[in-house]
Amino acid sequence: MKKANYKPRKRPQQPRSVKMVTWILDAATRVLEKESLEGFNTNRVAEVAGVSIGSLYQYFPNKDALTVALIEKTQQELVIALTKAAELTHAKPLAESVRELARVAIIHQQTRPRLSRILDLEEQRLSPEAVLSRSARAIQTTLVDFLQQHRKDITVPNVQEAATDILTIVKALVDANTGEVSEKLERRVERAIIGYLCYS
Amino acid sequence: MKKANYKPRKRPQQPRSVKMVTWILDAATRVLEKESLEGFNTNRVAEVAGVSIGSLYQYFPNKDALTVALIEKTQQELVIALTKAAELTHAKPLAESVRELARVAIIHQQTRPRLSRILDLEEQRLSPEAVLSRSARAIQTTLVDFLQQHRKDITVPNVQEAATDILTIVKALVDANTGEVSEKLERRVERAIIGYLCYS
DNA sequence: ACCTGAACACCGTTCAAGT
DNA sequence: ACCTGAACACCGTTCAAGT
């Protein structure tokens, strides 16, 4: 039985250590983008980062922990963008607001299509074990708030559940359509979300 | 650069060979169900199948080819169930028909929840390389036919695209809700599908 | 304290030897 | 022809030695 510990081994305090973690994460990002999952191995990441393999394992207890750190980092960027967008759409009608949120999510993913797709895949592979991450919960919360604000316009029986389902649906559509023209994809995502929310 | 050849190495003609392939696929299924992806390795599969590792590689050029064969097998079962269900719903109203198809898909997945989830994940991981499989195309075709029959009741601009999106959505929802009570899940899948199809 | 990298273990795959 | 399994290569991870 494998232990599933994806927490970073230590929060590095010393300046050099902070830098090393940054190097490692940057290297991991580059390796994943350029060589995809097949080329993603810890020895290669350490090499690209310019640190020894031993140092990598001082900060990340295993390869999956490194992947989880990347997922966290990416999701933090997304939650910031989504929260900002959600605030801006305050008084606008549902359809328009959804369209803007969808656009943010799609743009976020299309900034680094290969990487985002891989990280979503890895998140699914790891999710049964991993506790829902801080940033994943933040995204969920932002979406629940958004749905509450539009409570009168939607027909879902349970807002929590709806938020989860919508996140699942949007991720799936966006990942399955990597490379699709942004506007077309936006319209289909909008259809899926509002269709789900307003079904009666 | 890796070659991506997922085709079985040979279609076994001799009776002993046919049996061996069956043993190997059954063993792979058991290993995946019991030990999940972490325990799924070719040496273990060969051992459980009672054949030598060399024999496994005579029929499958690599591990992914073995996985693809499992995916194919599972999807063939699903396409049969779906086609049958689609025929039975012939003259019924859209919502009811969708509910029945959704039920078939959910039951199919919940028969072996762990296995189905893993195979869906692996399918995503492999899909950029792999040609869309025969059975995946069959499922797509069945769904397109179904949508054509209800053309007047749905608002999607493109039936092909809609079929793809719906498959993506249903898989994602079902995989994300492994272990959820069947009836609740059915209602949410129905909402997602009909919401998408009838959005205006 | 922290870094290093040789070494170990595990697993995908091959191929010389056996039938 | 087909099967076998020891052996090789690659990669995740550790740990003794160095600073």
The rounded average pLDDT for each run of 10 residues, N- to C-terminus, in chain B (200 residues) is 63 74 97 97 98 96 96 95 93 95 97 96 85 85 96 97 98 95 97 97
Neighbours of A197 (CB within 10 A): 22
C-beta of residue B189 within 8 angstroms of C-beta of residue B102: yes
The pLDDT of residue A2: 38
* pLDDT tens track for A107-133: 999 999 999 999 999 999 998 666 668
Residue nearest to nucleotide D14 (CA to C1'): A54
Q: Is the confidence at residue A74, as pLDDT, over 60?
A: yes
Residue B55 CB lies within 7 Å of the nucleic strand D: yes
**Token pair belonging to A46:** 């350490």
Distance CA A198, CA B170 (A): 18
Task: Label residue A3 by pLDDT band (50, 70, 90).
Answer: very low
Radius of gyration of chain A (CA): 19
Residue B63 CB lies within 7 Å of the nucleic strand D: no
Residue by residue, what is the 3-state secondary structure of chain A? CCCCCCCCCCCCCCHHHHHHHHHHHHHHHHHHHHHHHHHCCHHHHHHHHCCCHHHHHHHCCCHHHHHHHHHHHHHHHHHHHHHHHHHHCCCCCHHHHHHHHHHHHHHHHHHCHHHHHHHHHHHHHHCCCCCCCHHHHHHHHHHHHHHHHCHHHCCCCCHHHHHHHHHHHHHHHHHHCCCCCHHHHHHHHHHHHHHHHHCC
Torsion angle, alpha carbons of A159, A163, A165, A168, to 10: 180
Residue A157 CB lies within 7 Å of the nucleic strand D: no
Contact A175/B125, CB-based, under 8 Å?
A: no
Q: Which protein residues, judged by their CB atom, are less than 7 Å from any atom of strand C?
A: A 13-14, 16-17, 20, 51-55, 57-58; B 39-44, 53-54, 57, 61-64
B173 closest CB neighbour out of A37, A169, A188: A169
A199 touches chain B (CB under 8 A): yes
Q: What is the pTM of this model?
A: 0.94
Handedness of CA A44, A50, A53, A58 (dihedral sign): negative
Distance CA B144, CA B161 (A): 9
CA distance B173 to chain A (A): 7
* pLDDT tens track for B68-116: 999 999 999 999 999 999 999 988 999 999 999 999 999 999 999 999 9
B168 touches chain A (CB under 8 A): yes
Q: Where are the alpha helices (DSSP H) in B89-181?
A: 94-111, 113-126, 134-149, 159-176
Residue A36 CB lies within 7 Å of the nucleic strand D: no
Question: In chain B, which residues have their Cβ closer than 8 Å to the Cβ of A121?
Answer: 121, 124-125
Phi, psi (degrees; rounded to nearest 5) at B195: -55, -45
